[in-house]
Amino acid sequence: MPEVPGVTHRRVEVAGLGFHVAEAGTGEPVVLLHGWPQHWLVWRSVIPLLAAHRRVICPDLRGFGWSDAPRDGYAKEELARDVFGVLDALELERVDLVAHDWGAWIGFLMCIERPERVAHYLALNIVTPWADARPSVSAALGLWRLWYQVVLATPGLGETLLRRTSAVKRLITSGAVHRDAWSAADLESFAAVLREPARAAASARLYRTFLLRELVPFINGRYRGRRSTVPTVLLHGTRDVAIDYRNLGDWRTWADDMSLELREDSGHFIAEELPEVVAARALALFAGAEPAAGVS
């Protein structure tokens, strides 16, 4: 287990599965959800900045980090139910939320499904669940960005890539503006966990589920008409090689209180490249301050 000063660890049970939770600080709760290919350590530089003011709770999602990695259950709506289960186990009725990548997709689903459980939401580098009714040419051309998902979802190939190569380390640093955001030990922590057979298989199932069961319904408008009333800021590094900031979806129609801030000084992994910015935006949002806007 990686060590971060002030962080403690516990395990909670949800529907027969064990979930690892890292915690720090005291006060009102804020939950931080990681994405792929990472775990709670993605928040290592954000945790102390938030823990000075809040109780910070960082669960490992199903199949990631030190949580259980069952053979099934990788539909994103099920992962959202997992998070609600963790909140129930911790006896938390309502939380502020910060989330990245797949964690941020799950965060949007939480805001749609149970808005009474989320007070404020800071989403990092993810498309919104509201696909444009008329996809643009740039969105269609941008489908090439899914190439790595196809590779990871391919039976045998994806697991072998994770277990036998340094692909995880290269993917994390690809497109980064601040490459000094990761030590060799940080990158090894993320890669080492995914060398475990069960977790390599979980990553493959995560993407296989999305490509085979979730992508087409999303494009066809599964979530259009499902409003979010949770005050939300989407903070997005424009150097992201996986997600094109020009194709974030129809959030202006379906999110009642949401703003977008684009950062030219970050790639996909913005919580590690710009932890001070992420923490500052989170605390301002939680306090009800006017969000930053535009491109920085």
* Predicted pLDDT of residue 296: 46
C-alpha 30 chain-centroid distance: 14
DSSP-derived pairing of the beta strands 29-33 and 55-59: parallel
Mean pLDDT by 10 residues, the chain (296 residues): 94 96 97 97 98 97 97 97 98 97 98 97 97 68 72 91 92 91 96 96 96 94 94 96 90 95 96 98 89 60
Which pair of tokens denotes residue 242?
């996986």
pLDDT of residue 172: 94
- CATH number, domain 8-295, options 3.40.50.300, 3.30.420.10, 3.40.50.1820, 1.20.1050.10: 3.40.50.1820
Residue 251 CB neighbours (<10 A): 20
The residues spanned by each domain of the chain are 8-295
pTM: 0.94
Please report the pLDDT score of residue 148 as a whole number: 84
Taking the mean position of all CA atoms in its chain, how far away is CA 166? 22
Structure tokens of 37? 């290919």
Tokens encoding 92: 């938390």
Helix, coil or strand: residue 57: strand
pLDDT of residue 138: 56
